[in-house]
């Protein structure tokens, strides 16, 4: 059974720092991995989708990498801003299920 873990659970940093959020999964037979952002009381916004054949995806200040063999993905946020404050979730699509498996999220606070 696929399990997805995110570390750290919470992170508080000053503005301008470069950040790395981690996502680990137990079954490497994945189809894709998706990173989301969730603001308090809101739905999830898709940030990046990495297919299993890809190593990384980039969008603006965000870069997500995927290492299937080690069961890990990282989300790199460059030059963090207070507007980046939110909860970041990763979700894994596996071949043995047609549903995404979500991690528990990393709650990020960027202070001025």
Partner 1 sequence: EADIYQTPRYLVIGTGKKITLECSQTMGHDKMYWYQQDPGMELHLIHYSYGVNSTEKGDLSSESTVSRIRTEHFPLTLESARPSHTSQYLCASSETIDIAGELFFGEGSRLTVL
For residues 7 to 46, the per-residue mask of contacts with partner 1, x marking binding by CB under 8 A and - elsewhere, is: ------------------------xx-x-x----xxxxxx
Strand 86-94 and strand 100-102: pairing? antiparallel
Which residue in 12, 95, 109, 111 binds partner 1 (CB under 8 A)? Answer: 95
75 touches partner 1 by CB under 8 A: no
Is position 60 an interface residue for partner 1 (rule: CB under 8 A)? Answer: no
Q: For residue 64, what is the enclosing H or E element?
A: strand 62-67
Rounded to whole angstroms, the Cα distance separating 86 from 108 reads 5
User: Looking at 20-28, 55-63, 70-78, 92-100, which segment touches partner 1 (CB under 8 A)?
Assistant: 92-100
Helix, strand, coil fractions of the chain, as percent rounded to 5? 5, 60, 40
Nearer to partner 1, 103 or 110 (CB): 103
The verdict on whether omega for the bond into residue 102 sits within 30 degrees of 0, i.e. cis, is no
Select from 105, 93, 65 the least CA-distant residue to 2: 93
By the criterion CB under 8 A, which residues form the site for partner 1? 31-32, 34, 36, 41-46, 49, 89, 91, 93-95, 97-100, 102-105, 107
């Amino acid at each position: 059974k696929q399990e997805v873990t995110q570390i750290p659970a919470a992170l508080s940093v000053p503005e301008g720092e470069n950040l790395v959020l981690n996502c680990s999964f137990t079954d490497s037979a994945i189809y894709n991995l998706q990173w989301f952002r969730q603001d308090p009381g809101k739905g999830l916004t898709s940030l990046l989708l990495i297919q299993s054949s890809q190593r990384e995806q980039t969008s603006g200040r965000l870069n997500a990498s995927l290492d299937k063999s080690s069961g890990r993905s990282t989300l790199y946020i460059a030059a963090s801003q207070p507007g980046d404050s939110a909860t970041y979730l990763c979700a894994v699509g596996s071949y043995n299920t047609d549903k995404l498996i979500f991690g528990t999220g990393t709650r990020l606070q960027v202070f001025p």
